[in-house]
Amino acid sequence: MTRLVIVGDTLLDADVDGAVRRVAPDAPAPVLDQEHVAERPGGAGLAALLAAADGHDVTLVTALAADAPAARITARLAAAGVRLCALPVTGTTPEKIRLRADGRVLLRLDRGEGGDIGPAPDLDCLHTADAILVSDYGRGVAAHPEVRAALTAAKAPIVWDPHPRGPAPVPGVRLATPNAAEVRTATGAGGTALAAASHGGHELRRRWRAAAVAVTTGAAGAVLCHSGPTPLVVPAPAAADGDTCGAGDRFAAAAAAALASGALVTEAVQAAVAAATAYVAAGGVAAALAPPPAPAEPARHGHDDAGRLAAEVRARGGTVVATGGCFDLLHAGHVATLEAARSLGDCLVVLLNSDASVRGLKGPDRPLNDQHDRARLLAALGCVDAVVVFDEATPEAALTWLRPDVWVKGGDYDTVPESALVAGWGGQTVIVPYLDGHSTTTMIAAARGSRQPEGATR
């Protein structure tokens, strides 16, 4: 399986679709009656989803705020099998919201302020990649000194999708993929579209010390500027009329995947043009990404509260503590673990396995209590400050979003699987003892009048 690492800024994209049937009485503006909302990761997050949908092994190096939009981004990426290497960032997650009627955009609303990006976690993934895609959206990840140093040292071919507000690519990238408008703005190249792409592409190739520059020209395809003065024009295989949102990400991800498989740059650009054309013709991002199964309402229980709480605690220099589990039959052993965890910091967030997650881990006859009741009981405890329900088999996605300073497990573990993840943002993993004789599985077995299953755990 091809290992792709995608580096860049992730946002939350939303399409608000509806119908316009009237004009506002107080202004000459159409009134959109909302009918459907679709959310997805945008920017580098969209490139990661598209690459994962193609069957590649994808790791995303990005910056994530500690807020509810970032939690929704993380959940979608985790569901697609994308691994996250998250840099902490202050502020709020950028959002791009398109208001649409009959498939046409009426207005785009941008919100979210971003912020300062903290120290990078372990970036070893860049050294084991088959190819790297830098999907720069001008919000700081591609300019991060530690990230740039790791990219410069990487041996894998790099595709760099630049942004006007972003930095220049690191020297030696295999392929840079600006669009025609970006090339004109950056170089002042004029003349026909082909002349501007050719002259501007060669100028950027020299300026950036890149092996090749592919100037994307929308429905016309791309112009590849590489060795020699004559550009290679790669036309689109067929005219495509449709939603072009994400077409640049589709192009860059396809080019990176082709280079990872050993393709020549010319072959990679041809594959990328074909992929981007097919993407638009098929209906764009809405068709490319199958909507995730709608979670039950409690599946995001407490994200907003937990995000605000963690931000407030960090703002005053406090310590955010988290623990997790099924908590199917709340007992004194659980309470002892939770109280011990709370004593290690200034707030305690419990990451709670959803009903579907518990069934996957413990079998079809569990849980005994549904996630509504389990979350409510936990939240009622004085030592618990917030509860977040997650659907995955492990809490890694929720941990990546929350990034607690301390991750607590109760029991007699020799190792904790999440330790390396937590250490990646400078967090610490702690094991606290549980009360002997207080095992959920044992208690359920006793209540049912059956023998405890061999190897049962709490």
Encoded amino acid at 358, one letter = V
- The answer to whether residues 23 and 31 touch, using CB atoms and an 8 Å cutoff, is yes
Task: State how beta strands 57-64 and 175-176 pair.
Answer: unpaired
Tokens in use for 400? Answer: 């990546």
What are 111's strand-pairing partners? 95
pLDDT recorded at residue 330: 85
Task: State how beta strands 95-101 and 83-88 pair.
Answer: unpaired
**3-state secondary structure (DSSP) of residue 50:** helix
pLDDT recorded at residue 328: 84
Which pLDDT tens digit goes with each residue over 22-81? 999 998 999 999 998 889 999 999 999 999 999 999 999 999 988 888 888 988 898 888
Percent of the chain beyond pLDDT 70? 90
458 has pLDDT over 50: no
Tokens in use for 25? Answer: 């009485």
pLDDT recorded at residue 296: 37
Residue 367: φ, ψ to 5°: -85, 165
pLDDT recorded at residue 297: 36
- The answer to whether residues 425 and 438 touch, using CB atoms and an 8 Å cutoff, is no
Q: What's the gap between Cα 321 and its chain centre? A: 23
Which pLDDT tens digit goes with each residue over 371-405? 999 999 998 899 999 999 998 889 998 898 899 99
- Sheet holding 158-161: strands in order across? 83-88, 57-64, 3-8, 131-135, 158-161, 175-176, 213-216, 221-225, 232-235
Per-residue pLDDT band for 147 (boundaries 50, 70, 90) equals very high
Mean pLDDT computed over every residue of the chain: 87
pLDDT recorded at residue 452: 45
Which pLDDT tens digit goes with each residue over 421-447? 999 888 999 988 765 545 555 555 555
Task: State how beta strands 347-353 and 320-325 pair.
Answer: parallel
* 305 given a catalytic annotation: no
CA dist 297 and 378 (Å) reads 18
Per-residue pLDDT band for 451 (boundaries 50, 70, 90) equals very low
Tokens in use for 335? Answer: 């309470």
pLDDT recorded at residue 453: 47
Place of tokens 């990230």: 147
Which pLDDT tens digit goes with each residue over 340-367? 899 999 999 999 999 999 999 988 888 8
**Structural domains for the chain:** 3-288 (3.40.1190.20), 297-447 (3.40.50.620)
Residue 151, C-beta contacts closer than 8 angstroms, at least 6 positions apart: 7, 126, 132, 134, 158, 170
**3-state secondary structure (DSSP) of residue 221:** strand
pLDDT recorded at residue 239: 67
Looking at per-residue confidence, does 303 or 361 come out higher? 361
Q: 356-363 — which CB contacts under 8 Å span 24+ positions?
A: 356/391, 357/326, 357/390, 357/391, 357/392, 357/393, 358/326, 358/328, 360/393, 361/326, 361/393, 362/326, 362/328
pLDDT recorded at residue 56: 95
Residue 324: φ, ψ to 5°: -150, 170
Residue 234, C-beta contacts closer than 8 angstroms, at least 6 positions apart: 214, 221, 222, 223, 224, 269, 270, 273
448 has pLDDT over 60: no
pLDDT recorded at residue 140: 94
Lowest pLDDT segment from 47-61, 106-120, 205-219:
106-120
pLDDT recorded at residue 128: 93
**What is each CA distance from 171 to 75, 206, 353, 365, 424, in whole angstroms?**
34, 10, 45, 57, 27
Stated pTM of the model: 0.75
5 has pLDDT over 70: yes
- The answer to whether residues 38 and 18 touch, using CB atoms and an 8 Å cutoff, is no
**3-state secondary structure (DSSP) of residue 424:** coil
Which pLDDT tens digit goes with each residue over 229-285? 888 999 988 766 777 888 999 999 999 999 999 999 999 999 999 999 999 988 888
Tokens in use for 35? Answer: 């009918």
Place of tokens 């950056």: 186
pLDDT recorded at residue 412: 63
pLDDT recorded at residue 345: 93
CA dist 236 and 221 (Å) reads 4
Tokens in use for 286? Answer: 């809405």
CA dist 320 and 405 (Å) reads 5
Tokens in use for 430? Answer: 């702690």
Active-site position among 136, 161, 249, 405 = 249
